[in-house]
Chain A
Amino acid sequence: MMNKSNIPEVGANFAEGEQGKWGMVIDRDLCTGCQACVAACSMENNVAFVGEEDSGYGRSMHWIRIERFWEGEYPEVKMTSQQPVLCQQCGHAPCEPVCPPFAAVHSQAEQLNLQVYNRCVGTRYCANNCPYQVRVFNWRDYTDDRLDPALVTLKNQYNPDVTVRRRGVMEKCTFCIQRIHKAQDKAKSEGREVADGEFTTACAQACPANAITFGRVDNPESLVSQLAGQNRGSKLLEELGTLPQVTYLNGG
Chain B
Amino acid sequence: MSKNFSRRDFLKLAGVGAATTAVLTGCGPASKYVTRQQYLEMPEYNYNGQSTYYATTCRECAAACGLVVRTMQGRALKVDGTANHPVNFGKTCARGQAALHGLYNPDRVTDPVQRTARGGDATTIMGWDAAVQTVADALKNNQPSEIAFLMGMAPDHLFDLVTDLAKTTGINAPVRFGALGAFESRTTLSKASEVVFGQASIPFFDMGGADVVFSFGANFLETWLSPVAYTRGFSNMRRANHTKQRGYFVQFEPRMSQTAAKADEWIPVVPGTEGLVALAIGKLAAEARGVSMPRAFAGVDAADVAVRSGVKLETLERLAGMFANSASALAVPGGAALGQSNGLGTAEAVLTLNALADNLGKPGGVSFSPVSPLNDEYHRPASMKEMQDFIQQMAAGKFKVLFVHGVNPAFELPASLDFAGASANVGQIISFSTFPDETALLADYVFPDHHSLESWGYQRAATGAAQSVLSGAQPVVSPYFNTRSTVDVLLAAAQLAGGDFATALPFADEYEFIQNKVSVLVGEAGGLFSAPDLPTFIAYFQQHGGWWKTEAGFVTPSAPDALNRNINVSEAQFAGEGEFVLLPFVSPTLGEAGANKPWLQELADPTTTVMWNTWVEINPVTAHELGLENDDVVKIVSEAGELEVPVYLYPAIRPDVIAIPFGQGHTAYGRYAAGRGANPAKLMGPHFNEAGDIAFAGMKVKLEKTGRQQFLSRLESRMGVYGEGMGEEH
Residues A32 and B221 in contact, CB atoms below 8 Å apart:
yes
Residues A154 and B606 in contact, CB atoms below 8 Å apart:
no
Partner of A55, one of B80, B256, B611: B611
Partner of A43, one of B107, B268, B480, B599: B599
Partner of B652, one of A39, A51, A77, A133: A77
A130 within 8 A of B: no
User: How far, in whole Å, are A68 and B97 apart by their CA atoms in the complex?
Assistant: 22
Contact flags (1/0) for A22-64 with B, using CB distance below 8 Å? 0000000110111110111011100001111101101010100
Residues B221 and A154 in contact, CB atoms below 8 Å apart:
no
User: How far, in whole Å, are A11 and B228 apart by their CA atoms in the complex?
Assistant: 42
User: How far, in whole Å, are A78 and B607 apart by their CA atoms in the complex?
Assistant: 12
Stretch among B88-96, B482-490, B498-506 lining the A interface = B88-96
Residues B104 and A35 in contact, CB atoms below 8 Å apart:
no
B655 and chain A: residue at smallest CB distance: A74
Contact flags (1/0) for B592-631 with A, using CB distance below 8 Å? 0000001111111011010111000001110000000000
B640 within 8 A of A: no
Residues B606 and A157 in contact, CB atoms below 8 Å apart:
no
Q: Contacts A39-B600, A160-B72: A72 and B268 contacting too (C-beta < 8 A)?
A: no
Q: Which residues of B contact A33 (CB under 8 A)?
A: 258, 261-262, 606-607
Residues A70 and B726 in contact, CB atoms below 8 Å apart:
yes
Q: Which residues of A contact B652 (CB under 8 A)?
A: 70, 74, 77, 79
CB distance from B106 to the nearest CB of A (A): 4
Q: How many residues of A contact B (CB 8 A)?
A: 60
CB distance from B407 to the nearest CB of A (A): 24
Q: Which residues of B contact A252 (CB under 8 A)?
A: 246
Q: Contacts A52-B613, A206-B80: A43 and B97 contacting too (C-beta < 8 A)?
A: yes
Partner of B80, one of A49, A70, A205: A205
B671 within 8 A of A: yes
User: How far, in whole Å, are A232 and B152 apart by their CA atoms in the complex?
Assistant: 46
Residues B97 and A40 in contact, CB atoms below 8 Å apart:
yes
Q: Contacts A30-B238, A35-B603, A206-B91: A56 and B261 contacting too (C-beta < 8 A)?
A: no
Partner of B619, one of A30, A51, A74, A150: A74
Residues A150 and B599 in contact, CB atoms below 8 Å apart:
no
Q: Contacts A205-B80, A205-B90: A75 and B268 contacting too (C-beta < 8 A)?
A: yes
B713 within 8 A of A: yes
B77 within 8 A of A: yes
Residues B258 and A157 in contact, CB atoms below 8 Å apart:
no
Q: Which residues of A contact B711 (CB under 8 A)?
A: 56
Residues A149 and B602 in contact, CB atoms below 8 Å apart:
no
B100 within 8 A of A: yes
Residues B246 and A157 in contact, CB atoms below 8 Å apart:
no
Q: Which residues of B contact A66 (CB under 8 A)?
A: 604, 606
Q: Which residues of A contact B227 (CB under 8 A)?
A: 34, 208
A187 within 8 A of B: no
A239 within 8 A of B: no
User: How far, in whole Å, are A206 and B81 apart by their CA atoms in the complex?
Assistant: 7
- Please list 17 pairs of residues, one from A and one from B, whose beta carbons are closer than 8 Å in the complex, sorted by A's number: A30-B239, A33-B258, A34-B606, A38-B603, A40-B94, A44-B78, A51-B612, A68-B607, A78-B266, A150-B671, A153-B105, A156-B480, A157-B77, A159-B77, A205-B90, A208-B93, A208-B227
B residues neighboring A (CB under 8 Å): 49, 72, 75-81, 88, 90-98, 100-101, 103-108, 221-222, 227-228, 231-232, 234-235, 238-239, 246, 256, 258-259, 261-262, 266, 268, 480, 588-589, 598-604, 606-607, 609, 611-613, 619-621, 651-655, 671, 676, 711-715, 717-719, 721, 724-726
- Other than the given A74-B619, A210-B91, 10 more pairs (CB < 8 A) read A30-B238, A32-B262, A34-B588, A35-B589, A36-B96, A38-B603, A52-B612, A55-B602, A60-B715, A208-B91
